[in-house]
Structure 1
């Protein structure tokens, strides 16, 4: 029986009171007996949390009571046990490190594509204008090894800060196509899509909600394997069930995404 609700959510929005917000969210999360990680930076908030459904929903209501996060969207999945060992709330320079200060998603985001629309495009082999669709994986190489969209481009980056250089080196590979950037929950592909527009690739879209929302709304169509997640479950199948729980104790717990390969290597 799966009694633990897991949520992943983020929002790019200007935050000037990071330390005060950190203290408030940590106190609320502890009061509700939640575990996971919340990252706060001037560019926004990113969170991965788990607990009972009632307590997680109470926490979301608390967060959304702040006008800056009123429209925060959470991707949900279930597990039989608590996948996190502790509750952390951290203030960081970026909620997803790219080391590219000109990219400011809070000032305006790149266009996106909904999971159902993407599935239809992949079913028919092109977008609604007849252009070929290219899937671009923006995750670290070890994550891609767990699973990816069929035929997706994978530049084998070791960390997200390498992505801008990879785009510049392979720009010609993407020209003239509709490029859909994707990642686990949407945060990396949101920054990636903005960067690609700035580099002169205007037909770049981001997969709204990333792989997790695609699994939630579409399932595993056109996807091969599982999706690595930054908690003790290690990876999720397209039906959002946990995989490889026998090695979950060694999986990382920090969605900062500047993580080294976990001790347990993917099969």
Structure 2
């Protein structure tokens, strides 16, 4: 699959033309991601596109909202490892999209990695070991778990979320457990697949957050189903393997990238310009809309 298959570059005379919705949907399903270029999106039109594309939009409680549908991407300047969005939460979005309002002139390329291609190149022994879910463990401060539960249950004021609300949320979605920790925080454990098949194409994909960042949260520990920790050496090997199936998006102003979050992982090269010279927005959703 060449990068040209995924990038829809439109010539200067068609700057107001928008890629047909059926093409977006089909490319997303077949190829796993699509870059819309030369269509001169702005934040409002980007938000409208995602509202139409997804059945429901979802939000990250640690991020700043820009519009009702879009949030600001703010993860410092360092390189960001490959991950699926919100992959350490029980409800990762199906689809994510990025809109580049102001593109950095140096560095900060977004990376995208086809988890199906990675799965195909995994040694059989690892394929087998990765079949059972891993456990992600981390400390969550009170403010973070309150915000997350408030978002899940549509509770307007996060600070009113109680321990009972949290327990209700933990019981509502399988694979979660908690124990009380310091300063009203919790030790949170989540079982999560390392290989997913719930993507738009229904193909096995190495799509998880093993190599990912923890900018807004404490870095988690990852363990196999047998309880043994996933070693730094193995993570290093996986990183090298994934890099072979990784593309870079050299952002241009107005670009929109839409990604199947349960097949493709994404990350970022180091930002080499002052942060204010880069404005990137994210929107996340569950389910492809039938009417789009």
Q: Is TM-score (shorter-chain normalized) higher than 0.5? A: no
Q: Which has the higher contact order (CA 8 A, sep 6+)?
A: 2
**Greater percentage in strand:** 2
Q: TM-score, normalised by structure 1?
A: 0.26
